[in-house]
């Protein structure tokens, strides 16, 4: 199965200095392209030109585009060719790869990269390998090595005789060797669990991750004598021909102790066996140390299930949403859109990281509105029925209360009489998807709800439910488990799309490009499948033949053809990313709760 559970032992490891790793000439191909190890300072100058548009002596680089002179960051190569150097598509403009493996490849060395999400994968345009002279002509004069003029979108750069060789040296080593954690046959991955996660959620998370890796590796087979791999089911002709499919090795890093020790634990695990990416992950409080580690080590953190994402830009982490910070922004926009603003907003939270951070976010969002914002803290371990009534005493209709409380506290509200004020609850912290409010509170309480509404959400999660049932995995936390299912499925599709271009920067770039397109295609396919399964179910009823397995049968809608289409494959209303974006879901609702966990939207979708 190739899954290892790693539990930190709690000791402190020495914090080691991290340095920028420049790709070395370890392979014969890399050696032929670099013509010896480039001077570190030369490559550093080339990086500065590429990423920041800053040249020799800190002077901004000038570029001429359509008769206009631009300089500095506005003409940095990274803007169009991206960090990986593997290009992209902007509108109808195809921006080709300029990384070493593509600039200096011979025509017979087919290099494949998928840049345009609207077309199939294709081989990059064949050309003679660039030389220092032809590359200088392309960058300075806009003439490629076939003698043809390049698009005027490409600036003509005024690089001197120090800067031009430096940029060439940087491009020669850019995305030439695979990132750490990748071999010809394997991709090493890791996931992180923080100590605050309770045992049932921890076990459910681990069981799902292990099941997904087993399934993934079970579909990967050796096909040729040179150990190339593909799948039992072909994803693309290019993947089959190049044999780029790999098996996965997964380490589960279970952190121990207080958050100030996590960085050392993460560094120690990384040095022992560096992963290509941190995939999924589970946190119940402070995720910032994991976020900072991923930025520091330049390791992608791929859609963890957390209450509060880490904060820094630019970031190596991709998140489903802004978590409780998004909920705070949604509520602030909802309150300030009312004709009459409340005079007082009382925030009730336990003395924990997520609640305190959420309360501070809401206070910041309401600054300058004239609303009196207070935070009242319930000590950890004190029963709600004793501690809460004094905090709510005297509140009238001109006040609202926001409860940043976990599900177990919300269940305890049955012993507390609600006041005359309006109350709001965090759907993320309170797990509103699964746990209802006490009946007495439903009349005066609302959820801040960053999920899709239930009817549509049920359609979106049909395949998730089928998968869980077929593997006999219990649903312990629907939100978390459906997030894990999506994160690992999207990773499978993205790695397949990348083929042999297994570079960390490119993983994030492909996610930014693929997400909304992938969600649209998947939801269309699942809608067609649901109709087919519904028809098959009707045939079963008519003829008494068992044509559908039991796990699939339980998820078939009674009238599949009459149901609305799926809009996605997650419990979120819509997932999308663009260059530089790190939160895939960007809005939510204010909802009331009816019978059981049924909800009704009392606001349109709110985008803060």
Is the pLDDT score of 249 beyond 50?
Answer: yes
Judge whether 529 and 490 are in contact, CB under 8 Å.
no
| Virtual torsion, Cα 299, 302, 307, 311, nearest 10 deg | 40
Q: What is the pLDDT of residues 28-40, one digit of tens each?
A: 323 333 434 458 9
pLDDT recorded at residue 146 = 84
Is the pLDDT score of 122 beyond 80?
Answer: no
Helices (H), 104-236: 132-141, 163-173, 199-218
pLDDT recorded at residue 128 = 84
Is the pLDDT score of 238 beyond 70?
Answer: no
pLDDT recorded at residue 517 = 83
Res. 562 pLDDT band, cuts 50 70 90: very low
pLDDT recorded at residue 585 = 97
Helices then strands (H, E): number in the chain?
Answer: 21, 22
Q: What is the pLDDT of residues 39-61, one digit of tens each?
A: 899 999 999 999 999 999 999 99
Res. 152 pLDDT band, cuts 50 70 90: confident
Q: What is the pLDDT of residues 319-362, one digit of tens each?
A: 999 999 999 999 999 999 998 999 999 999 999 999 999 999 99
Identify the structural domains of the chain with CATH numbers, from first to last: 3-20+180-318 (3.40.50.2300), 28-173 (no CATH), 324-449+589-601 (3.40.50.2300), 456-562 (no CATH)
Res. 242 pLDDT band, cuts 50 70 90: low
Res. 14 pLDDT band, cuts 50 70 90: very low
With H, G, I as helix, E, B as strand and everything else as coil, classify residue 231.
strand
pLDDT recorded at residue 252 = 98
| DSSP assignment letter at 447 | E
Residue 600, CB-side half-sphere exposure with 13 Å CA sphere: 8
Is the pLDDT score of 492 beyond 50?
Answer: yes
What distance in Å separates the CA atoms of residue 44 and residue 33, rounded to the nearest whole number?
Answer: 18
Instruction: Work out the mean pLDDT of the chain and round it to a whole number.
Output: 84
Continuous segment of H or E residues that includes residue 250: strand 247-254
What distance in Å separates the CA atoms of residue 305 and residue 320, rounded to the nearest whole number?
Answer: 8
Is the pLDDT score of 402 beyond 80?
Answer: yes
pLDDT recorded at residue 20 = 28
User: How far is CA 253 from its chain centroid?
Assistant: 19
pLDDT recorded at residue 275 = 98
Q: Higher pLDDT residue, 11 or 564?
A: 564
Q: Which residues of 112-134 are buried (b: 16+ CB within 10 A; e: fewer)?
A: bbbbbeeeebeebeebebbeeeb
**The pTM is what?**
0.87
At how many degrees (to 10) do helices 40-52 and 163-173 cross? Answer: 90
Q: What is the pLDDT of residues 463-480, one digit of tens each?
A: 999 999 999 999 999 999
Q: Higher pLDDT residue, 234 or 311?
A: 311
Judge whether 479 and 540 are in contact, CB under 8 Å.
no
Continuous segment of H or E residues that includes residue 551: helix 550-553
Burial (0-12, 13-18, 19+ Cβ within 10 Å), 594: exposed
Is the pLDDT score of 545 beyond 60?
Answer: no
Judge whether 281 and 262 are in contact, CB under 8 Å.
no
């Amino acid at each position: 199965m190739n899954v290892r559970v790693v539990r930190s032992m709690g000791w402190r490891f020495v914090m080691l200095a991290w340095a920028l790793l420049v790709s070395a000439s370890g392979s014969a191909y890399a050696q032929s392209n670099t013509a010896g190890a480039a001077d570190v300072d030369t490559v550093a100058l080339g990086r500065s030109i590429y990423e920041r548009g800053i040249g020799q002596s800190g002077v901004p680089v000038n570029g001429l585009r359509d008769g206009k002179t631009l300089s500095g960051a506005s003409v940095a190569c990274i803007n169009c060719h991206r960090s990986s150097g593997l290009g992209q598509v902007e509108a109808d403009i195809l921006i080709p790869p300029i990384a070493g493996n593509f600039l200096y490849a011979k025509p017979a060395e087919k290099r494949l990269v998928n840049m345009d999400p609207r077309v199939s994968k294709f081989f990059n345009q064949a050309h003679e390998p660039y030389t220092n002279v032809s590359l200088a002509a392309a960058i300075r004069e806009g003439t490629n090595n076939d003698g043809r003029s390049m698009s005027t979108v490409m600036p003509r750069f005024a690089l001197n005789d120090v800067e031009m060789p430096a940029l060439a040296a940087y491009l020669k080593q850019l995305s030439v060797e695979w990132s750490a954690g990748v071999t010809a046959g394997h991709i090493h991955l890791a996931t992180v669990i923080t100590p605050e996660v309770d045992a049932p959620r921890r076990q459910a998370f681990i069981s799902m991750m292990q099941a997904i890796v087993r399934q993934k590796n079970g579909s990967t087979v050796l096909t040729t004598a040179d150990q190339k791999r593909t799948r039992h089911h072909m994803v693309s002709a290019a993947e089959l021909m190049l044999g780029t499919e790999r098996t996965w090795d997964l380490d589960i890093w279970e952190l121990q102790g207080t958050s100030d020790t996590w960085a050392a634990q993460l560094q120690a695990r990384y040095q022992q066996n560096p992963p290509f990416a941190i995939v999924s992950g589970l946190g119940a409080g402070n995720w910032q140390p994991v976020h900072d580690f991923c930025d520091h080590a330049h390791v992608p953190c791929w859609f963890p299930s957390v209450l509060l994402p880490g904060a820094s830009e630019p970031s190596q982490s991709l998140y489903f949403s802004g978590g409780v910070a998004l909920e705070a922004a949604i509520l602030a926009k909802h309150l300030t859109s009312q004709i009459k603003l409340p005079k007082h907003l009382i925030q009730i939270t336990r003395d924990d990281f997520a609640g305190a951070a959420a309360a501070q976010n809401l206070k910041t969002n309401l600054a300058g509105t004239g609303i009196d914002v207070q935070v009242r803290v319930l000590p950890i371990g004190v029963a709600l029925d004793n501690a809460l009534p004094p905090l709510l005493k005297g509140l009238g209709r001109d006040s609202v209360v926001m409860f940043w409380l976990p599900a177990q506290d919300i269940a305890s509200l049955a012993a507390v009489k609600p006041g005359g004020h309006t109350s709001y609850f965090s759907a993320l912290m309170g797990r509103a998807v699964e746990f209802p409010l006490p009946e007495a509170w439903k009349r005066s309480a609302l959820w801040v709800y960053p999920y899709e509404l239930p009817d549509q959400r049920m359609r979106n999660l049909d395949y998730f439910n089928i998968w869980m049932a077929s593997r006999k995995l219990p649903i312990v936390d629907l939100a978390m488990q459906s997030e894990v299912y999506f994160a690992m499925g999207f990773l499978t599709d993205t790695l397949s799309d990348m083929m042999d271009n297994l570079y960390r920067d490119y993983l994030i770039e492909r996610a930014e490009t693929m997400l909304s397109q992938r969600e649209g295609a998947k939801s269309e396919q699942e809608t067609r499948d649901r109709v087919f399964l519904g028809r098959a179910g009707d045939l079963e009823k008519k003829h008494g033949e068992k044509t559908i397995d039991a796990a699939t049968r339980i998820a078939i809608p009674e009238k599949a053809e009459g149901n609305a289409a799926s809009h996605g494959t997650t419990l979120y209303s819509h997932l999308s990313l663009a260059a530089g974006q790190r939160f895939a879901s960007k809005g939510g609702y204010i909802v009331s709760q009816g019978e059981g966990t049924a909800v009704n939207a009392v606001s349109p979708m709110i985008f803060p």
